[in-house]
Chains A and B, each alone.
Chain A
Amino acid sequence: MRRRILTGTFAAACLLIPFQAHAAAPAAPAAESADAVWDKCEAALDSPHASHTNPDVINVHADLKGCKQKMPEYSISVTLFKEGTQVAHNTGSGKNKFKARVVANWPPPKGECHAYSAKATFTITAGGKAHTTTLTNQSQGKICIKK
């Protein structure tokens, strides 16, 4: 049996914003539905940040996690913006997964500092019903790439 340590705190929401994130427009809690198990899935979009593996690249991660059962089908679409202009986009999809992450990244010209934002749309399809939510987030100030 799968262990359950994340109980109760998710209430009726189908998604949670990571505590460190500053989501500009968190979606309203999803209405209770018969497909209640998917209420435990968490959609999360982190703050655009410099990549740990390549400091010349800006990353943003879009996650589906926290599910108590495997998602029959999922899709994630994530877009990275530099001061409102799209600079990167990525998608991912799959079937029968507990969790999944997709990244959008972009290598700015070296020596430049910019503010970034991101938007991601998450869909879990179960029992013929699509559960979709969209999150936005922004960088914590400007991110500078060294020359």
Chain B
Amino acid sequence: MDDMNGYTLFLAVTDRTGRPRPAYALTTFAVETRRLDEAEERAGAALADLPPGADWTGLAPSVRREVVDRVRTVPHYAVDHTEHDRAPERSASPLADCLRSLAAGGPLAGIAAAPRTVYVTGGLPVGDAESAPLLADARAVHPDAEAHFPALARLTALLATAAAPSADNAVPDDEDLYDAFDRYALGGLA
């Protein structure tokens, strides 16, 4: 099997259960595996000047514009941000719900059946979601994205913080991190 075939997915979970919405969300960055190393290199260059743990809403407009311009050069297939907008606290696995939604529609549905490797940021255990679409038949699911591809892990985490102002139309296009990508969707469960 050619490991360069297919796609590599990076997942970032926002879990604020018990706090104001969104209580739970899944942010996904997908890249063709053959361009993975190039994507990591360009993401590293794009984010090099940001402080550790930067939150999109805390960045100055001029910095946001510069980062958006740089991120436009990062090879990618698509990005998606899915809020779990159906009472995640009552779900057996909010992550599985989000993954089922991703596979059902939107920019990632078209590659749901393709060979893929998954990296999860933040050391999050996938738990009951391991049998969910996109994970169940993955070649591998790595819980330590930062250890393998730190820049792409960081970009995915940054996209999670950039989702609310994008969905709220609170930033112009040139300050909207999602505008740097060719395919994307932001919203709730399908």
Contact string against B for A residues 40-70, beta-carbon threshold 8 Å, 1 for contact and 0 otherwise = 0000000000011110000101000110101
List 7 other contacts, CB 8 Å, given A5-B170, A54-B75, A101-B182: A4-B169, A51-B182, A53-B72, A94-B105, A97-B186, A98-B187, A103-B182
One digit per residue, 1 when the CB lies within 8 angstroms of any chain A CB and 0 when it does not, for chain B 81-118 equals 00001000000000000000000111101000000000
For B75, B170, B184, B190, the residue with the greatest tally of chain A CB atoms inside 10 Å of its CB is: B184
Whether A93 lies near B186 (C-beta < 8 A) is no
CB-contacts of B157-190 with A (<8 A): 166-170, 178, 181-190
B73 at the A interface (CB under 8 A)? yes
A100's partner among B73, B74, B106, B189 (CB-CB below 8 A) is B106
Q: CA of A52 to CA of B75 in the docked complex: distance in angstroms?
A: 9
26 contacts between A and B (CB under 8 A): A2-B167, A3-B169, A6-B169, A52-B73, A53-B72, A53-B182, A54-B75, A59-B182, A66-B169, A71-B187, A92-B106, A93-B105, A94-B105, A94-B106, A95-B190, A97-B185, A97-B186, A98-B186, A99-B167, A99-B184, A99-B185, A99-B186, A100-B107, A100-B184, A100-B186, A101-B185
User: Which of A52, A94, A97 has a CB less than 8 Å from the CB of B72?
Assistant: A52
Q: Complex formed: what's the CA distance from A99 to B85 in Å?
A: 16
User: How far is A93 from B72 in the complex, measured between Cα atoms in Å?
Assistant: 23
| Complex CA–CA separation, A140 to B167 (angstroms) | 30
Interface residues of A (CB under 8 A from B): 2-6, 51-54, 59, 61, 65-66, 68, 70-71, 92-103, 105
Please report the C-alpha to C-alpha distance between residue A97 and residue B185 in the assembled complex, in whole angstroms: 7
How many Å from the CB of B24 to the closest CB on chain A? 15
The minimal Cβ–Cβ distance linking B50 to chain A, given in whole angstroms, is 19
Closest residue of chain B to A2 (Cβ to Cβ) is B168
Asked whether B182 lies within 8 Å of A95 as measured between CB atoms, the reply is: no
- Closest 9 pairs between A and B when the two form their complex, measured CB to CB: A97-B187, A94-B105, A103-B182, A94-B106, A52-B72, A98-B167, A100-B185, A96-B188, A95-B190
User: At the interface, yes or no: B154 with Cβ under 8 Å from chain A?
Assistant: no
* A96 lies within 8 A of B85 (CB): yes
CA distance A106 to B187 in the complex (A): 28
Instruction: Output the nearest chain B residue to A91 by Cβ-Cβ distance.
Output: B110
Inside 8 A of B181's CB, which chain A residues have their CB? 101
Asked if B64 is at the interface (CB within 8 A of a chain A CB), the reply is: no
Q: Cα distance A92–B104 when bound, in Å?
A: 12
Determine which of A53, A93, A96 lies in contact with B189 in the assembled complex, contact meaning CB atoms within 8 Å: A96
Residue numbers in B under 8 Å from A3 (CB-CB)? 168-170
Closest-CB distance, B66 to chain A (whole angstroms): 14
Given A52-B72, A101-B181, A92 and B169 contact (CB-CB distance below 8 Å): no
User: Which residues of the other chain, A, contact B107 by a CB distance below 8 angstroms?
Assistant: 92, 94, 100-102
Residues of chain B within 8 A (CB-CB) of A92 are 106-107, 183, 185
